[in-house]
Amino acid sequence: MRHFHFLFAFCLIAGICSAQNMAPNSADAQGVPAHRTCASHDKYVEMMGGTKFSEMRSRIEQQTQHWESQSGEQRSNQASTVVTIPVVFHVVYANATQNISDAQILSQLQILNDDFRRLNSDADNTWSQAADSEVEFCLATNDPQGNPTDGILRVSTSVSSFGTSDNVKFSSSGGSDAWPTGSYLNFWVCNVGGGILGYAQFPGGPASTDGVVCDYRYVGDVGTATAPFNLGRTATHEVGHWLNLYHIWGDGNCNQDDQVADTPNSDASNFGCATGHVSCSSTDMVQNYMDYSDDACMNLFTAGQKTRMQALFAPGGFRASLTTSDGCAPACTIGCGCTDATACNYDSAATEDDGSCDFSCQGCTDSEACNYDADATEDDGSCIMPQDGVPCSCTSDWAFAVNNLTGTSSETFTMEATSSTGLDQLDVSVAYSASAGSSWAGDLLIGICDPNGSCIEIGGYDLTLGYTIASDWPGDWNVGAEGTYTHSVNLNSFGLTGAGVWTLEVVNGYSSTTSSGTWDATLSLTNFCLGLPGEDVEGCMDTTACNFNVAATNDDNSCFLATGCETCSGETDGSGSIVDGDADGDGVCDGDEVTGCQDALACNYNADATDEGNCTYQEQGFDCDGNALSCPEDVNNNGTVEISDLLILLGYFGCTANCSAADINGDGSVGVTDILMFLAMFGDEC
């Protein structure tokens, strides 16, 4: 049965380390992996199927080979050798056990520094090519806005286990958004689950998912760290992938290379600590961090691996921007203050900027603008004014239906619309039904492109459009059951904006052409207004009308208003309707209806009742409180036989059943005898 969940978020997914489970021993009752395994080769093959990914890997290899071909002197002249990388830890936890301590995080940071600088206490001389990688790691002290930080983000989540879905990297999916990957190594800690130790992204993949993920059980060497992966080497292995290192056996046999000359060829991975194991006519380097050995067995990177990693930081390299990152800039001690004259708290006396500059007072101060900031006191020139005929913001629906769409097949839809400030939110509702070939609801792959050519994609199984990935579908979409599926995605970080033709691509994202499915969906898009600037939009322009259209520029006399008990459904895009407020048509609005007894002779008579309810009556010869009546002619029990009693009596004249107090003689009917008895007592007090 297919449907192993592929990670489209990565150009290449490296080091998805997992294993068969042994006995559970954690708060989440997950088994401890028996040994390390990794899906990087499989992911490499999957993702290299696309031209875009192939070109990216080719560019990285060309740059690496060029760097390796230069002499040590040439390399040292071009770049500083020791590189310090700021790290931000995203601790995404569902319970207290997963919320690992600062001490455990700091132990992992120290292990990375020791391992990459070859300062680890278990370093030995078994391999002469062992080398200091000259890569260091520091806990971020400045956030992307330049504010002080301790480099540890703690995010509570309702997600019990993330797997390799990448949802941990998006706040909209219960995780934590990446900090700019040109300045930081993002290190996510969470309950990965499924026996997976961790995974990482090779250079060149999407920025939104760039970084390393480790299960909270395999971070550092204290706290929840679990043997035999309790010495922090899972992170060392995954950061190696993040720095462009392959597994030392090249994910193949003796003819497959890891692109590093000084690591011996090997026919496969090694587990445990198989020192002395021979394959491909040489001894396997089982102590290398890029093998599958247990933590206690690993202890080196080679000089060749160092050169390959350092190539990333050369001028034009794929991680060169990290060499100038100020994510770990030292704290100011003398003459500290904000030295930016454009900041709200500019300090003319400050000689050293301490990262305290505050720009919160700046923004758009024009109340007519789409991005008006009521808190701004200084206009920063960022105002976005509403375009002719199009409001600042709308929530508009984009519906589509694809029937029996086979695997890899697609349909394209277009719409003229305007988003002045960028798409903000997408709410999806999909009615799915399978046709053939083990199709799943989650096979649906959609792409949205703005008029400027910026595109995102959501979902799919083993196909990709090559766009920026905004989200996967939730895990409960990965079934073949027919039904309605919903999902919401925060789009405000993807910058989809503009006026013109927007494109929606709908694909059956499962590569099996024997599969087919039907998806009938509605996409509700916030900050998405139908129509283009300057165009006349026909519609109702009366704001009190139920079908008011905020985008209308020409009134087409189509307005209809609610009257009486009616109300409007609330839409402002012209699709509103009248809601009936008098269900029984009695002229009384539903909210004003009162159900009760409407018979004045009844003990529970309600003069305000508008709808008939149950009535209760006194027994013959007794009043409503059960007291015996002194004279039955006093029909209304007010103590006097008078005209009001006569009127009630006449109202029941001719009654032959259930005549209540009007049946004075108690014979079951109201007739002449009752009238005569009443007249005989007229005017008396009872």
Q: Pick the range with the lowest mean pLDDT from 351-365, 408-422, 441-455, 621-635.
A: 621-635
462 class by beta-carbon count within 10 Å (0-12 exposed, 13-18 middle, 19+ buried): buried
DSSP single-letter state for residue 338: -
Residue 396 has pLDDT above 60, yes or no: yes
Give per-residue pLDDT as tens, 331-368. Answer: 677 888 899 988 889 999 998 887 778 888 888 999 88
Average pLDDT over the chain reads 86
Tokens (6 digits) for 48: 């290299």
Read off the tokens for 137: 């790691």
Q: Which residues contact 608 (CB under 8 A, 6 or more apart)?
A: 594, 596
pLDDT per position as a tens digit, 623-671: 788 776 667 888 888 888 899 888 888 888 999 888 878 888 888 898 9
DSSP string, 374-434: TT-SEE-S---PPPTT--S--EEEEEEEEEEEETT-EEEEEEEEEESS---EEEEEEEEEE
Distance from C-alpha of 77 to C-alpha of 614, rounded to nearest angstrom: 98
Residue 460 region, left (φ>0) first, then alpha (ψ -120 to 50), else beta? left
Residue 66 has pLDDT above 90, yes or no: no
Rounded to whole angstroms, the Cα distance separating 236 from 248 reads: 14
Q: CA 299, CA 477: separation in Å to the nearest integer?
A: 43
> DSSP string of 539-597?
EB--TTSTTBBTT-SEE-S------TT-EE---SBS---EE-S-TT-SSS-GGG--EEB
Place of tokens 């010495």: 231
Six-digit token string for 2: 């297919």
CA atoms within 13 A on the CB side of 11: 22
Which domains are delineated in the chain?
A: 13-324 (3.40.390.10), 395-530 (2.60.120.380), 614-686 (1.10.1330.10)
**Four-CA torsion 375, 377, 378, 380, nearest 10 degrees:** 20
- Report yes or no on whether pTM surpasses 0.85: no
Residue 51 banded pLDDT, cuts 50, 70, 90? very low
- Residue 490: phi and psi, rounded to 5, are -80, 120
- Both tokens assigned to 585: 């048509």
Q: Which of 68, 136, 238, 352 is catalytic?
A: 238
- The model's pLDDT over 578-628, given as tens digits with 9 standing for 90+, comes to 999 998 888 899 989 999 999 888 889 999 999 999 999 887 767 788 776
Whether the Cβ atoms of residue 149 and residue 161 lie closer than 8 Å to each other: no
What pLDDT digit, counting tens, does each position of 240-256 carry?
A: 999 999 999 988 889 88
| Active-site residue, 238 included | yes
Residue 31 to residues 96, 217, 325, 463, Cα–Cα distance (Å):
19, 11, 39, 31
